[in-house]
Amino acid sequence: MTTPRAILLLGPTASGKSVAAMALASCMPVEIISVDSAQVYRGMDIGTAKPTLDERVQVPHHLIDIVDPTDAYSAGRFAQDARRLIGEISARARLPLLVGGTMLYARALTAGIHELPVADQEIRARLESEAQALGWPALHARLAAVDPVTAARLAPNDAQRIQRALEVFEISGRTLSQWHASETRRPAPPALYLRIALEPSRRAVLHERIAERFAAMIAAGLIDEVRSLRTRGDLHPQLPAMRCVGYRQVWAWLEAGAPGGALRDEMIERGVAATRQLAKRQLTWLRAMPERAVIDCLAPDATQQVIERVADFLDGVTQPGPRL
């Protein structure tokens, strides 16, 4: 059997990944696998920037709308699903194109899961702030709701371990007890990956794009989308789905009574700020990925550069090895 070949098109939010992916699909026989921890959830369309129905008709998309917002979806499960899909797509003589910005998922696929997620200082700082306001017993109760096994062995004021357990769950969507129960780590299977990273040469321009994109989501009905999710009655702010950027800020604003004027503007600013912080984390992950072809997402010919890189890669794999 030949070694599977796949393209990883990664980048921060608002870097133009979807546009580049559809352009690739217009000239190559690809099927797209979403590498996005929010697009897996059904009923969360506007705030996750899912591909349109027309785009999904034009090009097969996978790992979109596969779980309910009440459920969790982990990096380990993604890696398992993506490996299966890469095999199935390759068997159809088509090219697997993995597109997204959830870098933990990309690492789980290409390197396997060998250790707990690395620390996220921003999540830790937020948990610390919440603990100062609510007390560590309140965060212990939150942990008990999602990971009763870990909570049962921790004292209500064991700040460091409560913080780490909540951090791991927020990063991965998987509880600490689930990580500890997995004694055997499955290594990533052999594969040839071309890793393309769309990264901005000017961070300020990306920030402008993010603000414009969030404003467009609000105009497209993000508030009504979150309002509809709240009326279901089975969702709450601590669920991984409801902690997604944008949804978390709109939910809190609706919970406060949806005040207008300056407070509505403040909610939007918080959503934009949170999205910018997400982009910063995504870029940090990318910089730790040495075997990547970096393309300036702000370049006028960025999409054409992506197409050329993929064409070179596909030509190169017929030789002794891929040109990365």
Give one DSSP letter per residue of 208-255, joined into a string: HHHHHHHHHHHHHTHHHHHHHHHHTSS--TTSTGGGSTTHHHHHHHHH
User: What is residue 161's predicted lDDT score, i.e. its pLDDT?
Assistant: 84
Q: Is the separation of the CB atoms in 96 and 89 below 8 Å?
A: yes
CA dist 122 and 152 (Å) reads 26
User: What is residue 320's predicted lDDT score, i.e. its pLDDT?
Assistant: 32
The DSSP output letter for 120 is: -
CA dist 19 and 174 (Å) reads 31
Place of tokens 């060998």: 114
User: What is residue 185's predicted lDDT score, i.e. its pLDDT?
Assistant: 52
- 52 phi, psi to nearest 5 deg: -70, 165
- Per-residue pLDDT in tens (0 to 9) along the chain, 324 residues: 578 899 999 999 999 999 999 999 999 999 999 999 999 999 999 999 999 999 999 999 999 999 999 998 888 899 999 999 999 999 999 999 999 999 989 988 998 765 677 778 889 889 989 999 999 999 999 999 999 999 998 889 888 889 989 999 999 888 988 887 764 455 555 569 999 999 999 999 999 999 999 999 999 999 999 999 999 999 998 888 998 999 999 999 999 998 888 999 999 999 999 999 999 999 999 998 878 999 999 999 999 999 999 999 998 753 333 333
Q: Is the separation of the CB atoms in 277 and 101 below 8 Å?
A: no
User: What is residue 317's predicted lDDT score, i.e. its pLDDT?
Assistant: 53
CA dist 164 and 120 (Å) reads 10
User: What is residue 321's predicted lDDT score, i.e. its pLDDT?
Assistant: 34
Q: Is the separation of the CB atoms in 289 and 105 below 8 Å?
A: no
User: What is residue 1's predicted lDDT score, i.e. its pLDDT?
Assistant: 54
Give one DSSP letter per residue of 121-151, joined into a string: HHHHHHHHHHHHHH-HHHHHHHHHHH-HHHH
Query: Could you tell me the sign of the dihedral formed by the alpha carbons of 266, 272, 278, 280, in that order?
Result: negative
CA dist 274 and 267 (Å) reads 11
User: What is residue 182's predicted lDDT score, i.e. its pLDDT?
Assistant: 66
Q: How many residues does the chain have?
A: 324
CA dist 33 and 49 (Å) reads 15
In this structure, which amino acid lies at residue 76?
G
Number of H helices, E strands in the chain: 14, 6
CA dist 79 and 85 (Å) reads 10
Structure tokens at 305: 């550069």
Residues 6+ apart with CB under 8 A from 212: none
Local structure of 33: helix, strand or coil: strand
User: What is residue 186's predicted lDDT score, i.e. its pLDDT?
Assistant: 54
CA dist 205 and 105 (Å) reads 26
CA dist 41 and 69 (Å) reads 5
CA dist 172 and 283 (Å) reads 18
- CA angle, 118 then 124 then 128, to 5°: 160
How many C-beta atoms lie closer than 10 Å to residue 29's C-beta? 11
3-state SS, 16-41, equals: CHHHHHHHHHCCCCEEEEEECCCCCE
The DSSP output letter for 183 is: -
User: What is residue 323's predicted lDDT score, i.e. its pLDDT?
Assistant: 34
